[in-house]
Amino acid sequence: MLKIGDIEMKNKVVLAPMAGVCNPAFRLIAKEFGTGLVCAEMVSDKAILHGNKRTLEMLYVDEREKPLSLQIFGGDRESLVEAAKVVDKGTNADIIDINMGCPVPKVTKCDAGARWLLDPNKIYEMVSAVVDAVDKPVTVKMRIGWDDEHIYAVENAQAVERAGGKAVSVHGRTREQLYTGKANWDIIRDVKSAVSIPVIGNGDVFSPEDARRLLEHTGCDGVMIGRGALGNPWMLYRTIQYLTTGELLGDPTPREKMEVAILHLDRLVALRNESVAVREMRKHLAWYLKGLPGAARVKDVIMEETSRDRLVEILKDYIESLDPDGESAVSNGRIQMADTSKKAVH
């Protein structure tokens, strides 16, 4: 099993820290689908120190999500360390992760995120300063390099290890690639061979078979799933089952998808106010509907709605139009989901 510091996961599957996605509403669903470790979306060190209300809300961890990794980013050592101290003593997260892979210009221009990939010495300096200041295990999520001419994945991972980092997650793309092209699993394998701390592989894992291939190819200790889980937490559950038992479970029915989508919506409403939750949920619903018959028509209608009840009505009508007798993994007990009321989140 995957173990980071003294935190032991029940399997090797990790939910990636996706911005705008990995709030408690989705993370709890991922946990209920069996995910060994869930990661919260990245939070700015300076926003934490400024006490920004929205940012502090992002530090909330439901006990049922644990073990959980909370990710911070920043380019200034002093503010990064102080923010890490807040996470260390002021939250019930289990792991502090440092973002070293975000390719977005507004982050890299602040000497943060993927910008670190150009300087192993800075990585050592920043990670060691955080490790010295906190009690929780510190990890790093990085890309393989800045561009094809600047791939220092091995040196960067070794710097993390020397600095006292307890694990490193490696996305097999450069910053320049963003999310295009193919993830380079060979370099992830090189990183695994070069360090003794756990390595979690990430990139181009869209099926349980992909997850097994990545683990076999790289020798990694864990597999991180990001875009493959968007609107599809079954991918996490199916991957765990496949890696554990060799059984490849089927895809969910439209009814199963819509029931979990409604659960997701209700948890977002509990976290935010209704209007904010409904707006945020539109993109998730597009992901839940992806590949289903008649989905384009339903997506068009959803994008105009502002009411939770109306959204639920549309989804239920859609279910009945397709599969009035469809089986439900939630209702028949194959997957146990928590209460959908507000107490399910807070």
Catalytic residue positions, numbered = 102
Enumerate residues 6+ apart whose C-beta is below 8 A from 253: 323, 326, 327, 328
- How far is CA 42 from each of CA 6, 46, 156, rounded to the nearest angstrom? 23, 12, 20
- Residue 71 · residue 47 · CB < 8 Å: no
Enumerate residues 6+ apart whose C-beta is below 8 A from 221: 2, 12, 167, 192, 198, 199, 200
Alpha-carbon gap, residue 236 to 34, rounded angstroms: 7
Taking residue 125's Cβ as centre, other Cβ atoms within 10 Å add up to 13
User: Residue 143 carries which side chain, given as an amino acid letter?
Assistant: R
* Percent of residues in the chain assigned helix, strand, coil, to nearest 5: 50, 15, 40
